[in-house]
Amino acid sequence: MPASIQPGDPEQVRDLFDRIAPAYDNLNDLLSLGLHRIWKRQAVAWLEPQAGQCVLDLCCGTGDLALVVAEKVRPAGLVLGIDAAAAPLERARQRARAQPWLPVEFRQGDAAATELADASADAAVMAYGLRNLPDPAAGLRELRRLLRPGGRAAVLDFNRPAEPQGSTAAFQRFYLRRLVVPLARRAGLEDQYAYLERSLERFPTGAEQEELAVAAGFGFARHRLLAGGQMGLLQLVA
């Protein structure tokens, strides 16, 4: 990706996801060996969504996680997916039209400034989105504002190892440089996926995420490592 593009720049990140949207789902399956589906279901398991609840999916992308949650809250509940990029949202809406019995809606918007009412959601999830926000702390504050007291949130993303020279960080660099980028190159998206490693450089560690969540007003915050420390699940209770 050109050096002028900076991780966390809203317009540039939006353009990035608009471009990769057509290949995004297939590449996710390929690059994670399908494991991203398991990690997302672990996030849903933490939420414990119930029938009739209103659940938010912030940075919802192509909607795969929103549709999983919608199965849990139907028939009287609602999942509202919000994303800044138009192309992934169109893919999400196509998926929803193929399953019209699911109570799910998709809306273009800013995950850190949704303009939704305070305490309007029973639960919320954010998968691979916090890292791309201009200010992760602001994203967590918005997440807390939207949740009703006692509401749960799950934030799934790559883990930034606390020890940059340790074995976990070394494997992560190997995975991103030797697997992710070469495979993305075959799809003509090398620059877009090279961005991933750069975005991790500014991402808070698990311990820092816990501190930011408590500062945002969450009563409970725990960062759980997944995939041998390559991924992290921030478990939150308002």
| String of DSSP letters for 66-82 | HHHHHHHHTTT-EEEEE
More confident of the two residues 16 and 72:
72
Question: What pLDDT score was predicted for residue 181?
Answer: 81
Residue 27 pLDDT grade (very low, low, confident, very high; cuts 50, 70, 90): confident
Residue owning tokens 């390929």? 30
DSSP code of residue 179: I
Question: What pLDDT score was predicted for residue 8?
Answer: 75
Q: Is the pLDDT of residue 60 over 70?
A: yes
Residue 178 pLDDT grade (very low, low, confident, very high; cuts 50, 70, 90): confident
Residue 68 pLDDT grade (very low, low, confident, very high; cuts 50, 70, 90): very high
Tell the CATH superfamily of the 10-159+205-237 domain: Vaccinia Virus protein VP39 (3.40.50.150)
Q: Identify the helix (H) or strand (E) that includes residue 84.
A: none
CB atoms within 10 A of CB 187: 16
**Positive/negative CA dihedral, 147, 103, 132, 11:** negative
CB atoms within 10 A of CB 196: 19
More confident of the two residues 14 and 143:
143
Q: Is the pLDDT of residue 135 over 70?
A: yes
Percent of the chain whose pLDDT exceeds 90: 70
Decide: 222 and 210 in contact? Cβ < 8 Å.
Answer: yes
Residue 20 pLDDT grade (very low, low, confident, very high; cuts 50, 70, 90): confident
Q: Residue 78: beta bridge partners? A: 54
Of the segments 1-15, 152-166, 214-228, which one has the largest average pLDDT value? 214-228
Question: What pLDDT score was predicted for residue 5?
Answer: 53
Decide: 53 and 73 in contact? Cβ < 8 Å.
Answer: yes
Q: Is the pLDDT of residue 57 over 70?
A: yes
DSSP code of residue 185: H
Percent of the chain whose pLDDT exceeds 70: 97
Sequence spans of domains, the chain: 10-159+205-237
Q: What is the mean pLDDT of the chain?
A: 92
Question: What pLDDT score was predicted for residue 175?
Answer: 85
Q: Is the pLDDT of residue 3 over 80?
A: no
Residue 65 pLDDT grade (very low, low, confident, very high; cuts 50, 70, 90): very high
Q: Give me the sheet containing 147-158, strands edge to edge.
A: 104-108, 78-83, 54-58, 121-127, 147-158, 231-237, 220-226
* Residue whose C-alpha is closest to residue 84's, from 133, 121, 48: 133
Least confident of 54-63, 154-163, 170-179, 218-227: 170-179
Mean pLDDT of 224-232: 95
Distance CA 146, CA 118 (A): 5
Question: What pLDDT score was predicted for residue 7?
Answer: 74
Question: What pLDDT score was predicted for residue 4?
Answer: 46
Q: What length is written for the chain?
A: 238
The angle subtended at Cα 202 by Cα 196 and Cα 206, nearest 5°, is 95
Decide: 158 and 200 in contact? Cβ < 8 Å.
Answer: yes
